Amino acid sequence: MNVAEIMRALATFAWLGSLAVIALVVLRVGRGRPVKSAAALVLGMIVLATLLTVVSAGLVFVQPEERGVVISALAPKGYREDVLQPGLRWIVPFFENVVIYPISRQIYTMTIAEGSGPSDDLEVTARTSDGQEVFIDGSVIFSIDPDEVIDVHIQWKSRYSTEVVRPQARGIIRDAASQYAVEQIVTSERDAFKDRILLELSDKLADNGLVLVDFVLRNITFSPEYAASVEQKQIAEQQAQQARLVVEQRRQEAEQARQTAQGQADAAVIAAEGRAEARLIEADAEAKALELIAAALRTSPDLITYTYVQKLGPGIQVMLVPNDNPFLLPLPSLPQE
């Protein structure tokens, strides 16, 4: 409770007190008692109540989020040209009164969506450039320009929300929607659509002493027929995308099988080349070994006999061979008798 309200309350109590004192005086007169002191008390109470009434009528407390327009019977134009600023202010009692306007942010909402909070109006029905009907939910966040409070009072008084914000917002939204196709509004051009509304609405509100803080594009819906066609299109696109994924999966599987087969073939070729090279090396080594053996036999004919004997078991003392096989080892010659 501010000082001005306290003064008005005191004035009210003073008048009630005055009435009570007057009733007491009347009662004393009816009983034949003296009323000299009571009359003085009544007069004092009336003077006090009148003084408090005059003071309370002249005091105005303006909140920080408010501005006051002083309507004055003493001013040439019928109002003070200066806005009443926040704080405790004085006006001429009974010749001036104050109309308070909020300069804090206000919201005008257009929606019928469930669970979206209180709504000032229904959503905006608009037509896009391709003739489709769309329903646009939005909120206009605005405030009164503190420097234009007097002009707002003169032009609109308290009707600025219903007669400025509402028609301007709804008309601009419809005009902006007509510049875009329905798919653009909900996809690629949604931000441009919102920015267009912001720019045009800001200019219109500024011309009427209001400041646009923001425009919130809450939701965009379609007619039931178009919504059904969009759903069918999305289903078809999803099916086509699924088919493309299946084709791509089959292609990748075929490519993987081809690469696997190619790897196996390459491995087989490498293995065959390795075996061939190893066989060549082995044959070359055998040939060189045979050459060395042949050279050794040419210089030492008894080497083969020595090698054969080395291969025999250590316990062999007698060997029997068929009589029709040649001797592998040279036999000693027997003396002639």
User: In the predicted model, is pLDDT for residue 189 greater than 70?
Assistant: yes
Q: If you average pLDDT over residues 37-47, what whole number do you get?
A: 76
Q: Would you state the pLDDT for residue 118? A: 58
Q: Would you state the pLDDT for residue 317? A: 60
pLDDT class of 330 with cuts at 50, 70, 90? low
Highest mean predicted confidence (pLDDT) among 150-159, 254-263, 315-324: 150-159
CA 160 to chain centroid, in Å, comes to: 32
Q: Which of 137, 160, 277, 158 is nearest to 208 (CA)?
A: 160
d(CA 272, CA 318): 50
Task: Pick 137 or 49 by higher pLDDT.
Answer: 137
User: In the predicted model, is pLDDT for residue 117 greater than 80?
Assistant: no
How far apart are the two ends of the chain, measured CA to CA in Å? Answer: 165
Q: Would you state the pLDDT for residue 136? A: 92
The sign of the dihedral angle between the CA atoms of 271, 277, 283, 289 is negative
State phi, psi for 25 to the nearest 5 degrees: -65, -45
Q: Which residues of 207-243 are buried (b: 16+ CB within 10 A; e: fewer)?
A: ebbbbbeebebeebbbeeeeeeeeeeeeeeeeeeeee
User: In the predicted model, is pLDDT for residue 24 greater than 70?
Assistant: yes
Q: Are 164 and 210 in contact (CB under 8 A)?
A: yes
pTM for the full model? 0.62
Long-range contacts of 144-148 (CB under 8 A, 24+ apart): 144/67, 144/101, 144/102, 144/103, 144/209, 144/210, 144/211, 145/103, 145/206, 145/209, 145/210, 145/211, 146/67, 146/83, 146/103, 147/83, 148/209, 148/210
- The percentage of the chain sitting over the pLDDT mark of 70, rounded to a whole number, equals 80
Q: Are 79 and 70 in contact (CB under 8 A)?
A: yes
Q: Are 15 and 53 in contact (CB under 8 A)?
A: yes
What tens digit of pLDDT does each residue of 87-104 get?
989 999 989 999 999 999
Residue 294's SS3 state is helix
How far CA 151 is from CA of 75, 155, 243, in Å, comes to 16, 6, 65
d(CA 335, CA 333): 7
Q: Would you state the pLDDT for residue 192? A: 93
Q: Residues with Cβ < 8 Å from 14, sequence gap 6 or more?
A: 45, 48, 49, 52, 53
